Structures are given as C-alpha cells and as structure tokens.
C-alpha cells in the first residue's frame, strides 16, 4: 500500500496527523540519506484534525530542512523529535533536535517574522515560514510551536 502526500494549502481536509508526519519524513528521506538521524514521532495514533495540510507540511518540511542544513551541517548523527497532541481544541506541536544549536546573536530574534541570520540560504526558509504564519493565521491552530 502506498500513501501519497499532496500539498494543498487552501483546502480543508481531515488530517490523520501521525500518518501525515510519517509521509513528510518519507518524502524527505533522500535528503537525509548521508546522515544517521533518528526521527522520533510522539503522537497519539488517533490524532486527527480538520485543517489545511499544505500549511503544516510546509512548516514541518522547513523545520526538518533547516535542521539538516544548519543543526546537522557538521554532525553525522543525531535525533529529531516531533511531538504532537491536542490541548482542548488546539494542536500543540513541539519540535526539537540535538544539532549544533542557535548562535547567541540570533537567539533573541527567533520569533521575529522574516528574521534571518547573515547566511543568504536562510532567507527562503524564514521568509516562507513568516509568510505562512502571517497570512494563514496559524496561531488559531497552534497552541505551542517550538
């Protein structure tokens, strides 16, 4: 059996979140093939919500690629953990990894929309996340986004 992840950002669908996260990881497997990254998904198997899957896919993908590009740039192995659960009617997502970390100079700015470090390759990722958060009003859906 095959699952296909379709990126649709403006259509409301029922999302079975654990399968959805696994599909995203599967689609990015070729990008991580040179690293020994352990992916841990901690999510209730029955977690589902009606929302916009394209938005979630874009954010999770950007976080994963950012971890690969920066957190594991000089590290060959590590762990990326994605936790998701419902808190009342809000989805709580926690993203963590044990990569190299954020520089002290950039740390105060991480929640500023469109902020980027001095590295030009960061512009697309930060701009896309900032655009999605500002235009789709994701804070109606996210309780916590770490």
In a domain, 28, yes or no: yes
Report the SS3 class of residue 93: strand
Q: Are 63 and 25 in contact (CB under 8 A)?
A: no
In a domain, 8, yes or no: no
Report how many domains make up the chain. Answer: 1
pLDDT for position 119: 56
Residue 48 parent element (H or E): strand 48-51
pLDDT for position 2: 44
Please work out, in degrees rounded to the nearest 5, the angle formed at the alpha carbon of residue 84 by the alpha carbons of 81 and 86: 165
pLDDT for position 12: 61
Domain with 131 in it = 13-145
pLDDT for position 137: 45
In a domain, 4, yes or no: no
Q: Are 14 and 50 in contact (CB under 8 A)?
A: yes
Return per-residue pLDDT of the chain as tens, 146 residues. 444 444 444 556 778 889 999 999 999 999 999 999 999 999 988 888 888 888 889 999 999 998 998 889 889 999 999 999 988 888 889 999 999 888 888 888 878 877 776 555 444 444 445 544 444 444 433 333 33
Locate 110 and state its tokens: 């991480």
- Eight-state DSSP code of residue 55: H
pLDDT for position 52: 81
In a domain, 2, yes or no: no
pLDDT for position 9: 46
Longest Cα–Cα distance of the chain, Å, equals 47
Locate 70 and state its tokens: 């920066």
In a domain, 29, yes or no: yes
In a domain, 55, yes or no: yes
* CATH code of residue 119: 3.30.565.10
Q: Are 6 and 58 in contact (CB under 8 A)?
A: no
In a domain, 6, yes or no: no
In a domain, 7, yes or no: no
Q: Are 39 and 60 in contact (CB under 8 A)?
A: no
Q: Are 40 and 3 in contact (CB under 8 A)?
A: no
């Amino acid at each position: 059996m095959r699952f296909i992840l379709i990126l649709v950002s403006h259509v409301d669908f029922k999302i079975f979140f654990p399968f959805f996260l696994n599909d995203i990881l599967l689609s990015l497997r070729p990008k991580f093939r040179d690293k020994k990254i352990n992916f841990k998904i901690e999510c209730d198997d029955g977690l589902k919500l009606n929302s916009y899957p394209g938005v979630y896919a874009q954010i999770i993908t950007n976080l994963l690629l950012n971890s690969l590009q920066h957190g594991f740039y000089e590290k060959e192995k590590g762990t990326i953990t994605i936790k998701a659960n419902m808190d009342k009617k809000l989805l709580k997502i926690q993203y963590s990894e044990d990569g190299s970390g954020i520089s002290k100079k950039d740390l105060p700015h991480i929640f500023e929309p469109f902020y980027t470090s001095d590295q030009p390759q960061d512009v697309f990722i930060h701009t896309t996340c900032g655009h999605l958060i500002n235009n789709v009003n994701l804070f109606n859906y996210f309780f916590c986004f770490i």
